[in-house]
Structure 1
Amino acid sequence: MTFANPWLLLLLVPFGLLYFFWREKKFIGYSSLCHVKEPHGFKRVVIRLFKPIFFGIIFFLIVAIARPQTRYYNEETALRGREIILSIDTSFSMTGTAIETIKKIVGDFIKKRTNDLVGITIFGTDAALIVMPTMETQLLEKSLERVQASQAGYQTSIGEGLFTSITALFEKEMGKKFTIKELRNSINKEYLADYAISFIKEMEKRDILKNKLIVLFTDGIYNIGISPDRPLRLLKRMGIKAYVVAVKASDVTGVDPEVAAQHIMELQEAVESTGGKYFHADNFDEVARFYDEIDRIEKDKIVIETVSKKKDLFIYPALASLFLLLTSIFIENFWIRVP
């Protein structure tokens, strides 16, 4: 416990001296009713309590105005929902119809997410975080309007888009203990390195892996950056599902058709290994199934804000002082009588 005005506790010093002198009866003499016959029994005990009660009133009053408080505690604002990152392919192959199809699906998806935190990343040659997970629908819609093809470069790096989406989900939790660069290096191998395993264990320890997912909007063909199966392997190990809404490319991809088909097949297999699914945007029924699939994912607690607060405790000594005051009034008016 702490005090907001601890210097006011100095008032207890003269108060303590006054109480000491009263106990020792070192007061200057004055006329009194000491020769009047004192009452006996319980009434006598009650009358003798009058002065201790008076000092109790002053003591608790001083403590109250010093404002006792608890130490800082965290107060969470939370709700039940999901945390979703929408990762949009903005490479050159998305020019025209493809990017407009994606924006239409994403726009409809955002409107359906009433209690979910939604963030947006984009990827082309590079990847970028556009909006951190938020419930601000208008912010998401305005940001989506500004998304254009070739915004992050002409080539397609699906792996970078996935990795940026992962860091967007855990940016607040990474702190100083984990860095994006080290985490990226630790997953860009044939296996998950110790650094990545340590990251996973820390997130599991904090119990923050539930109700998170990533939705990828792309043609499924990549030609630069880390292989998509590596960040997807990390997601699988953490128990986080990834989904793909596949859009047919509007322009040339710069990838041999056979290689492109192989990329799409590998991406579909890697996504399904996380427990997610692969949908086709040109099929209305599949898009509807995509919405339903996300809605079926169990909601969990999402902490929106954590605020450090102190709780005031002055009410308790104030009530004690008031109680003693009322008691003294009762004693003075109903028990103390001068014959």
Structure 2
Amino acid sequence: MLIFAHPWLWFFLPLPYLVRLLPASSNKAQAVWVPFGARLQQAMASNPTQQVKSQFKWLTPILIWVCAVAALCRPQWIGDPVEKIIPTRDLLLLVDLSGSMDQEDFNNASGEKVDRLSAVKEIVGDFVIKRKGDRVGLVVFGDSPFLQAPFSTDLALSRRLLDESAVGMAGPRTALGDAIGLGIHLFDESNAPAKTIIALTDGNDTKSQVPPIEAARIAAQRDIRIHTVAIGDPGTVEEDKLDLDSLEQVAQNTNGQFYFAANREELEGIYHELDQVETRKIRTVSHRPKLDLFHLPLSLLICISLGSKWRITRFRREPVQIHRSLRVDPRTGQLLTTP
């Protein structure tokens, strides 16, 4: 679609005509009266150069002025709309990679026995792919938390980095509180209206410098919601014992939900429910690219000017002999011409 960025400049189009309506100058030029004026005018009318000037007397200036005004109006071509999806939520996944995650008490999609982390990769990976419209990040933790995938709308990349994680790569113990603290720091540069953390662990926090409950209070002050997911055997003891009370309190302090899964089916149901709780809201903005076309009327203006100048110059280079001799009639005193 063609538009003009400054359409109000079209009002200058009749300006030359309005200037022409102004009163002429009162200065009168001196003239010489000759008795052969009519013949001289007739001879000039037969000059090809004058015919060309008369032919382009009005057309050329009008076209040049129209092209100049059109260029000043800045014509633009509006392209097809280009839509962009703006994320409305930053979602951070915390995944436990402590030594207890290698216990083979879960099943995969085929029903085979696999370790806990393998089952988590399948279920959480499918959950990530569904989060279109969100920016998803991934933090893995053991003895210390590490940023595995920064916030991104490239969900396939986030899932691939999740699949590349391995048990023990962050240390054998569990530092959930420090992982929440790292997540809070990552949200400092987030402008998303909704900020959510989903923390998954199968053991007790034994390594954090900041307790998970204290980290949750800080998250609540910054409007960050935390959902906690506990997996494994609640009957384990010592360091591998699940601290369900702490995980539940972390979720409550941030208006989140606490979940427990003892097998693959329950874990899959939890992430399906989380997908419903954290509803995806997609906001799109549309942009239509603009292409400036002011150079087209300017190019036409230059071509018209050069073309008219070339034609007049060509005729001027061909001298036309109107009369070869002049004499005066002795009887009438009139100017006579001899071809």
TM-score, structure 1 as length reference: 0.54
Matches within 5 A, 1:84-123: 84-97=91-104, 98-123=116-141
Q: Unpaired runs of 5+ in structure 2? A: 1-23, 26-39, 46-55, 77-81, 105-115, 305-339
1:295 aligns with one of 250, 257, 276: 276
**Could you tell me whether the CA contact under 8 Å between 1:85 and 1:213 is conserved in 2?**
yes
The structure number with the bigger radius of gyration is 2
User: Structure 1 residues 125 and 80, CA, compared in 2 at 3 Å: closer, same or farther?
Assistant: closer
1:281 aligns with one of 261, 264, 270: 261
> CA offset at residue 130 of structure 1?
1.0
**In the aligned structure 1, how far is the partner of 2:195 from the partner of 2:83?**
19
| Larger relative contact order (CA 8 Å, sep ≥ 6) | 1
Counterpart check, 1:223 vs 2:206: yes
Matches within 5 A, 1:141-156: 141-156=159-174
- Structure 1 or 2: more helix by fraction: 1
Counterpart check, 1:269 vs 2:249: yes
Q: Which amino acid aligns with 2:224?
A: I
TM-score, structure 2 as length reference: 0.54
**In the aligned structure 1, how far is the partner of 2:84 from the partner of 2:127?**
25
Question: What SS does the aligned partner of 2:148 have?
Answer: strand
In the alignment of these two chains, the number of paired residues is: 237
- Structure 1 or 2: more strand by fraction: 2
Question: What SS does the aligned partner of 1:125 have?
Answer: coil
Matches within 5 A, 1:74-85: 77-79=84-86, 82-85=89-92
Q: Which amino acid aligns with 1:103?
A: K
User: Structure 1 residues 168 and 301, CA, compared in 2 at 3 Å: closer, same or farther?
Assistant: farther
**In the aligned structure 2, how far is the partner of 1:115 from the partner of 1:159?**
28
**Could you tell me whether the CA contact under 8 Å between 1:60 and 1:318 is conserved in 2?**
no
Q: Which amino acid aligns with 2:98?
A: S
**In the aligned structure 1, how far is the partner of 2:297 from the partner of 2:213?**
65
> CA offset at residue 212 of structure 1?
2.6
Over the matched positions of the two proteins, sequence identity in percent amounts to 22
> CA offset at residue 95 of structure 1?
2.7
Question: What SS does the aligned partner of 1:223 have?
Answer: coil
Q: Which residue of the partner structure matches residue 53 of structure 1?
A: 62
> CA offset at residue 279 of structure 1?
0.9
Task: Please provide the CA RMSD for this pair.
Answer: 4.6
> CA offset at residue 268 of structure 1?
1.1
Residue range with higher mean Cα deviation, 139-148 or 76-85: 76-85
**Could you tell me whether the CA contact under 8 Å between 2:68 and 2:298 is conserved in 1?**
no
